[in-house]
Amino acid sequence: MKRSVWPVVVASAITALFLCALGGWQLMRLSEKNALLAGIEARGKAPLVNLEQAMSGSEAGTDLEYRRIEASGAFLANPPLMMLAAYEGGPGFRAIGALVGDGGIFVLVDRGLLPEAARADVLARKAQGPVLLRGVIRGRNGEQGIFDPENDAAGNLWHWWDVPAMQAALAAPTEARIAPFVIELAESPFTDEFPKAQLAAATIKNNHLQYAITWFALAIVAVVMALLVLRRRADQ
C-alpha cells in the first residue's frame, strides 16, 4: 500500500468509528426512552389516587410520578403564575394555579398552555367555585439550568420550576398542608379556550431509532467514499 493512502485510511476509519459511536449512543437512548414510555403507560393504567392518597404516598416516599390523580377543591383567586413556554411553535406561557383541596391540602396545578396574546385575559380571569380535577402527578423538582435566567416572581415571569418559590408566590394559606408535587391537568374543568390542558407525556418524542440509522448510514457513506478514493489512487 502506498504511503500516500494512509491519511485517507486513518481519516475514514476515525470518522466511521465516531459515527458508529454516535449511532450506538442513540440506540442506548432509544432503550432508555422506551423504558420511560413503558413506565408512563403502566402508571397511566394504574388506579386513580385522590389528593389525600397522593399526599400520604408522597410523605411515605412512594414514587408517584405520572400516576393519575383526581382532586376536588377550589382554586385560589390569585392570578396564575406565567411560565415561559412555546405554544404551537410561537411564544406562549404555561399557567400555574393553586388548588386548596379536600383536607386543606394546597397543591400547585399546571393548568396548561396559552399563546402570548391570551396572557392578559387569563390573568384577569378568576377561577371560581368548586372543581373536580383529573390529571397526573408530577414531581417538578427542577433546578435552574446553566442558561436559565432568574425567575421574576414580582413580575410574574417564570423560566424554570421552583416549586417552593411558586407556592410562596401563590400565597399558600398558613394552615394548609403543602403538597410537594404538581398536578398536571389532563382536561380543563372550565369552558374557557385558554389555558389548554396538555399532558407533557403526550408530547414526548422518541426519534432515537431514526437518529441511530442516520449515524450508521453516514458511517457507511464514509467507508464507501474512502474506498472510492483508494481505488482511484490505485488506478493512477
154 and 127 together in one domain: yes
Quote the pLDDT of residue 235.
66
- Find how far residue 112's CA is from the centre of its chain: 13
For each of the chain's 236 residues, which pLDDT tens digit applies?
455 677 778 888 899 999 999 999 999 999 998 888 888 787 778 889 999 999 999 888 888 888 999 999 999 988 999 999 999 889 999 999 999 998 899 999 999 999 999 999 999 987 777 899 999 999 887 778 888 899 999 999 999 999 999 999 998 888 889 999 999 998 888 878 889 988 877 677 889 999 999 999 999 999 998 888 877 777 66
**Cell numbers given for 42:** 403502566
Question: Are both 118 and 196 inside the same structural domain?
Answer: yes
Q: Are residues 61 and 148 in the same domain?
A: yes
126 and 169 part of one domain = yes
- Give the DSSP per-residue string, 71-121: EEEEE-SSPPEEEEEEETTEEEEEEEEEEEETTTEEEEEEEEEEEGGGHHH
pLDDT at 38: 83
Residue 121: domain span: 46-203
Cα separation, 92 vs 96, in Å, equals 13
Report the C-alpha gap between 176 and 100 in whole angstroms.
8
- pLDDT score recorded for residue 140: 80
Contact of 185 with 127, CB cutoff 8 Å: no
* pLDDT for the residue numbered 144: 80
Q: Are 173 and 196 in a shared domain?
A: yes
Please name every residue paired with 98 in a beta bridge, in sequence order, or none if there are none.
Answer: 108
Question: Do 69 and 145 belong together in one domain?
Answer: yes
35 and 8 belong to one structural domain: yes
Q: Are residues 20 and 62 in the same domain?
A: no
Write down the pLDDT at residue 1.
Answer: 47
Shared-domain flag, residues 53 and 169: yes
Give the integer Cα–Cα distance in Å for 138 and 30.
23
Q: Are residues 12 and 111 in the same domain?
A: no
What total of structural domains would you count in the chain?
Answer: 2
Residue 195 shares a structural domain with residue 219: no
Are 51 and 140 found together in one domain? yes
